[in-house]
Structure formats: structure tokens, C-alpha cells
């Protein structure tokens, strides 16, 4: 009875481990600027790279300039010549830097706020067809004494001819709202080409790469789970029964039967596929 209870506990632990392993792998898959909402797609790769937007606020007797640096598709790179404490930490995608300026005095960095980080990005998307836009909400860590985490909300309006720069709309201490008019905000239906000027080859290559990447992740999770099964099973058999050698293999009797089961399955399939002989003598019976 005790051994049965221990076996049940081991199976539960093993299941929880596999679930955690799968969730960890999925969580490590970063946002790559390809968005699908229902049957509508958006390709934001043309907006890849670092962008800097600033706005000036009058804060007598000084002036405060907000510098927003962001990269939708990757982490921000460290900037040369700027002290580490005046930059957002590694893994940040959206960084807000507040600089205080006063006449005849050197500029002072008063705040460096990571609004969104790849670790914990948890992107949320919403779209509209009238007017056409895509809204992206990225999440970040808490900052200073704020109990609420920081976040970055980008509303990307569809404008095929737009060349304007993004604009900071508001920042309430936790959420920064940014608006941008760009061709990348225009959706395209499932099966359509997101960039007709470049032909279909590019999108087909991206689709094949996405499928290949998904298969690779599946086999990675499968191999890790299989290895964990044998390692944890061997440890359980050793610690519980003092097993050694081949007895360490979990569910050893089952694995011994696998070759015979495969042989039976193959024999059964072959017997069903093998054509049966039919007589061509009609109703003739030899006497």
C-alpha cells in the first residue's frame, strides 16, 4: 500500500515536471513582430530596429525631456558612452529616460524606466477594421514605489503613405501610450501577401521557417521530457527499491515488451495489405 502511494506521488511529480518544462519552453519563445488576430495578419518587421521619440514638458524652473527608446522585434542594445546606471537593464524592449534640463547647468537623468522587457513581455493584441489599426500592449516590471507594473501600449494606424514619426500621447506613471501611422498597421487576410512589392517568395520562406521552428521546438520538448522520464524514474527506483543496473530503468517490463508489440503490429499490417489468392476456375470442383 505504501509503495502504491509512493508510485502515485511519483507519477504526479513527473506530470507536473513535464507541464512546467513545456510552459518554460513556450515562454522562452520571443515575440517576433508577426501578429495574427483571427484570420487577419500583421507584419511589423518593417518597424524593426531601435526608434527614439522625445517630448518636452515644462516643469518650472526646469524643462523635462522624455526620451522613449524602443525596439518592437528585439532587445535594446547597450549605448556606448552612457553610464550603465543611466540605461535600462539588459533584456529591455522599451525604455523611458527622463532628463531634467536647467539653464547654465548640466543635464540630469532623473529616471530610467524599463516599460517592457522580453522576460515577462506577455504581449496582448487587439485590432479594428474601422478605422484600421493594431494595438499592442507590452508588459514590464514594477518601478520604484509603484505597486503596479509598467506597460507600453502602441496603437499602430494603417496608413500606406505615412512617413510620420511615432508620437507620445500620455504617460500616467505606469502605462505609456504611443501612436504611430505606418503601412505596417495595415492588415492582410489569411493567404494574402503582406508585402506585394517584394513578391511571394519572402513570405513563403518565412512560413517555412516558422513551421520548421515549431517542429524543432516539439522535438526538443519531447527529447527533454523523455530524458527526464528515465532520469527521474531511475532515481526513484534506486532510492525506493535500491535497484542497480538494468533494474534502474523505469517500467522495465513494459520496455521489454515493446519489440514484441511492434512485431505484432507490423505482422498484422502486413497480413491486411498482402493480397489474397482468388480461384479462376469458376464452379469447377476436382473429383
High-pLDDT (> 70) share of the chain, %: 75
Q: Which of 140, 173, 199 is the last residue of a domain?
A: 199
Query: What confidence score (pLDDT) does residue 153 get?
Result: 97
Q: Does residue 102 share a domain with residue 8?
A: no
Report the b/e string of 12-33 with b at 16+ CB within 10 A.
eebeeeeeeeeeeeeeeeebeb
Neighbours of 68 (CB within 10 A): 21
Q: Does residue 248 share a domain with residue 193?
A: no
Overall number of domains in the chain = 2
Q: Residue 13: inside a domain, yes or no?
A: yes
Query: What confidence score (pLDDT) does residue 88 get?
Result: 96
List pLDDT tens digits, range 226-244.
788 878 777 777 777 777 7
- Looking up residue 177, the CATH number of its domain turns out to be 2.70.130.10
Residue listed under C-alpha cell 509503495: 3
Q: Does residue 217 share a domain with residue 188?
A: no
Query: What confidence score (pLDDT) does residue 212 get?
Result: 57
Q: Which domain range does residue 107 map to?
A: 45-199
List pLDDT tens digits, range 122-181.
999 998 888 889 999 999 999 987 778 999 999 999 999 877 899 999 999 999 999 999
Q: Does residue 264 share a domain with residue 159?
A: no
Query: What confidence score (pLDDT) does residue 26 get?
Result: 39
Query: What confidence score (pLDDT) does residue 234 get?
Result: 77
Burial class (CB in 10 A: 0-12, 13-18, 19+), 284: exposed
Taking the C-alpha atoms of residue 259 and residue 271, their distance in angstroms, rounded to an integer, is 18
Angle between helices 2-27 and 201-241 (to 10 degrees): 160
List pLDDT tens digits, range 192-217.
555 544 444 444 444 454 555 678 78
Confidence of residue 255 (pLDDT cuts 50, 70, 90): confident
Q: Residue 246: inside a domain, yes or no?
A: yes
Q: Does residue 189 share a domain with residue 49?
A: yes
Query: What confidence score (pLDDT) does residue 194 get?
Result: 53
Q: Does residue 86 share a domain with residue 22?
A: no
Q: Residue 286: inside a domain, yes or no?
A: no
Q: Does residue 6 share a domain with residue 59?
A: no
Q: Residue 282: inside a domain, yes or no?
A: no
List pLDDT tens digits, range 33-49.
998 887 788 999 999 99
Confidence of residue 276 (pLDDT cuts 50, 70, 90): low
Q: Does residue 131 share a domain with residue 59?
A: yes
Per-chain mean pLDDT for the chain: 79
Query: What confidence score (pLDDT) does residue 23 get?
Result: 41
Q: Residue 32: inside a domain, yes or no?
A: no
Q: Does residue 219 share a domain with residue 77?
A: no
Q: Does residue 165 share a domain with residue 56?
A: yes
Close Cβ partners of 10 (under 8 Å, ≥ 6 residues apart): 232, 236
Q: Which of 199, 228, 257 is the last residue of a domain?
A: 199
- For residue 21, pLDDT over 90 is answered with no
Q: Does residue 51 share a domain with residue 20?
A: no
Q: Residue 276: inside a domain, yes or no?
A: no
Taking the C-alpha atoms of residue 165 and residue 105, their distance in angstroms, rounded to an integer, is 30
Q: Residue 162: inside a domain, yes or no?
A: yes
Whether this prediction's pTM lies above 0.85 is answered by: no
Q: Does residue 164 share a domain with residue 58?
A: yes
Q: Are 110 and 98 in contact (CB under 8 A)?
A: yes
Query: What confidence score (pLDDT) does residue 5 get?
Result: 53
Q: Which of 199, 233, 254 is the last residue of a domain?
A: 199
Q: Are 88 and 115 in contact (CB under 8 A)?
A: no
Q: Residue 224: inside a domain, yes or no?
A: yes
Amino acid at each position: 500500500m505504501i509503495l502504491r502511494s509512493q508510485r502515485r506521488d511519483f507519477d504526479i511529480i513527473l506530470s507536473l515536471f513535464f507541464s512546467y518544462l513545456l510552459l518554460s519552453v513556450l515562454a522562452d519563445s520571443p515575440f517576433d513582430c508577426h501578429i495574427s488576430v483571427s484570420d487577419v495578419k500583421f507584419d511589423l518587421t518593417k518597424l524593426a530596429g531601435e526608434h527614439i521619440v522625445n517630448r518636452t514638458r515644462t516643469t518650472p524652473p526646469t524643462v523635462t525631456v522624455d526620451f522613449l527608446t524602443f525596439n518592437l522585434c528585439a532587445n535594446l542594445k547597450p549605448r556606448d558612452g552612457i553610464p550603465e546606471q543611466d540605461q535600462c537593464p539588459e533584456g529591455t524592449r522599451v525604455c523611458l529616460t527622463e532628463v531634467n534640463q536647467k539653464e547654465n547647468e548640466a543635464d540630469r537623468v532623473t529616471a530610467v524606466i524599463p516599460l517592457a522587457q522580453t522576460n515577462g513581455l506577455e504581449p496582448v493584441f487587439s485590432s479594428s477594421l474601422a478605422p484600421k489599426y493594431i494595438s499592442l500592449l507590452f508588459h514590464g516590471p514594477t518601478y520604484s514605489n509603484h505597486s503596479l507594473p509598467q506597460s507600453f501600449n502602441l496603437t499602430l494606424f494603417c496608413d500606406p503613405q505615412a512617413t510620420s514619426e511615432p508620437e507620445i500621447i500620455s504617460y500616467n506613471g505606469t502605462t505609456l501610450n504611443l501612436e504611430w501611422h505606418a503601412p505596417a498597421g495595415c492588415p492582410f487576410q489569411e493567404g494574402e501577401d503582406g508585402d506585394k512589392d517584394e513578391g511571394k517568395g519572402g513570405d513563403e520562406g518565412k512560413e517555412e521557417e516558422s513551421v520548421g521552428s515549431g517542429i524543432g521546438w516539439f522535438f526538443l520538448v519531447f527529447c527533454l521530457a523523455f530524458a527526464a522520464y528515465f532520469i527521474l524514474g531511475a532515481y526513484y527506483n534506486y532510492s525506493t527499491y535500491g535497484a542497480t543496473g538494468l533494474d534502474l530503468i523505469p517500467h522495465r517490463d513494459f520496455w521489454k515488451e515493446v519489440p514484441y508489440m511492434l512485431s505484432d503490429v507490423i505482422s498484422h499490417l502486413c497480413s491486411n495489405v498482402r493480397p489474397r489468392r482468388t480461384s479462376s476456375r469458376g464452379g469447377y470442383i476436382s473429383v
